[in-house]
Every structure is written in C-alpha cells, then in structure tokens.
Amino acid sequence: MAFEAQKRWLYSRNLDPKMVPPPTMRYMLINSFSHALMRQLALECGYNAASLRERIYSKPPEDEKGPQAGVLIYTAAPDSEGTLGGLVNLGEPITLGYHIAQALEAMGLCASDPLCADHKPESGSPSLHWAACHACLFSPETSCERGNKYLDRSLLVKTFVERDLHFFHS
C-alpha cells in the first residue's frame, strides 16, 4: 500500500524510487500517533500547535537489535508558552495516559468524514497520506519531520472505511 503509493508519488516528480526507501507500517503508525498526541496537547494544554515538534524513532524488525519504536514531542518555542517544564509535567504517567486516551478518541471521527476516511493517494497527487486531513491529523508543516506525509488515522482507530487496521482498541 505505502510502497506503491510512494513509488507513484516519486515517479510523478521524476525521482528514482530506489533512492528513497518507503516507510514501514510501524513508522506510519508512530507518525500518526505522534500527530494525534501533538493535536491533543495543543488543544487541551494551551500549546500553540506550531510550537511543538516531533522526532520519530522507528527501526524495522530486520534491524540487528530488533524492532524499536518511539516518539519524542518537544517544544521549539523559546517563549513561556512552550516551556520544557510544561511538557515534562504532561509526561507524568496518569496525565500522559489521559492525553493519549483523549487523542485516540478524537481520531475516531473527523469533521471531513467520510471523505477523509476514504482518502487514498492517487497517481500524480501532491499528497502522500491516507485517512488524514487538516481537520483531524495534519500538523503545521514545520512540526512534522515528513511534512504531513505517511499519516493514516485508520492505523490508530476504526474509521468509516477501515474497520480492521487499527492498532489501538477501546
């Protein structure tokens, strides 16, 4: 799915697909999770969405140390709105658990459904995302290390279209 979409996307830009390895499903899941959590932190905690950044750590199972996955959400704003202490406090287990649960619940519906849930990258399309849009999963371009590509909320939760891909269960 992601491999073919990326190959078409690269061909449409006259780029060689062999030079750019496609992301794994693990990467897409972690990237989508990171965006959902950043949106939740921005909405619930008063952080400006543009002041948060992500760093994705994802190694495939073929890696010599085994599969690994992680996400770092950090603030890139030097002002009082995005202090590191505020993000550290949100990392406390009970608080973080609440925000993760809220972020996943918010991903179940999108204001642009069913169009958002049914989106798939098409040949020549400028997008390289699945069930994701500005109403649900996109972050400011500077916040995402992949420029809002490789996102799919159906990897996180059930959507109108995909009922079997989700990793998290209610």
Domain spans of the chain, in order of start: 24-155
**Token pair of 29, please?**
């899941």
Between CA 22 and CA 26, with CA 24 as vertex, the angle to 5 degrees is 155
pLDDT tens digits along 97-141: 999 999 999 999 899 999 898 888 775 566 788 899 999 999 998
Alpha-carbon distance of 30 to 36, in angstroms, equals: 10
What pairs with residue 56 in β-bridges?
71
pLDDT tens digits along 23-34: 888 889 999 999
Is-above-0.75 flag for pTM? yes
Token look-up 């998290």 returns: 168
Q: E strands along 30-158, which residues?
A: 52-59, 68-75
**Token pair of 122, please?**
């098409």
